[in-house]
Structure 1
């Protein structure tokens, strides 16, 4: 079984025909820049994480790590520190000014009232996650209907968030279940509960008489 990014799997698979390789290039994904910020100031917010759909922040989510466990801040005096992680979504291949984004996230946390204006920042760190989320484009299912059957015909079973390239069945619980299911299918011949090979829109419309 494979759980890595499906487009990369196809690219490294010897003998993949041209139509399968071409389909893999149609798969789109996002990149996420994760910024960790530490402050010499106790957290004043009791929420674990918050979402930001507007333009008031460069990130779409902020996680209050100091609320999860005292070990997420210096153990010498956890009551004096706080820690935040922000997530900023980017198109794949975006050139990023990492230092500037760290500063922008710091400013936004203060502007939104999550960190006091006068709080001393004691750390700032950025990690770039090249493959963060698969994007459900209109041509995705057509591409998957070409890729997955060919892989399975060669006994390659691609599962998980990026293995199926389907965010709608890409949570951790889905991924674990898919791993269990493919193992049972190969050993016992039982049907998988979550994963199915997507059908292109034209095929779905034909089934429903549209």
Structure 2
């Protein structure tokens, strides 16, 4: 899969950025170190000034790529969902058993992320922590409806639609495929957060992963078995 992914450019809505960060070494350094810095100090404390010091560039040079740190967060989270989507597509395309395909999809979308060497300037493990801790801040804003119309969340919504279609393939009569699909993807972030910070609020731990919980939830909700 890494060979296939290496030939693919992840495409983000060009309204999110002013200049494509993938088009230059500076842009890639902005992405690489913004992930590390947000992971380290949190989105609230993150500023372009602090990022500029780390990458050895003027704050103004970062503004040539993104007009705000909100847009940068939208870019990072969109990249993450697109990366997961590619993994989902390549891992399930040739699977004929609908139940096994759905199981694989749920596993990919809810598991603990491991490092992927395909994209040298992206630390997927750090980015996963950023998404777990900060993703809700990208849409819990007064501008969310306008940004939704502009297509800022199209990759996230497309990923949910792919999972929705797999659920329907297993059980075409299930009444809540959109709700279940979005619950799996959003709920996985929440369970990972709880596992790290509020251990008494979840049954997930080092032995029981969120993927175990969501596979149990899905196949009980659909009243079917993984190996049917």
TM bracket, shorter-chain basis: under 0.3
TM norm structure 2: 0.25
Q: Which has the higher helix share?
A: 2
Higher relative contact order (CA 8 A, sep 6+): 1
Please tell me whether Structure 1 or Structure 2 has the larger radius of gyration of its CA atoms.
Answer: 1
TM norm structure 1: 0.26
Q: Which has the higher strand share?
A: 1
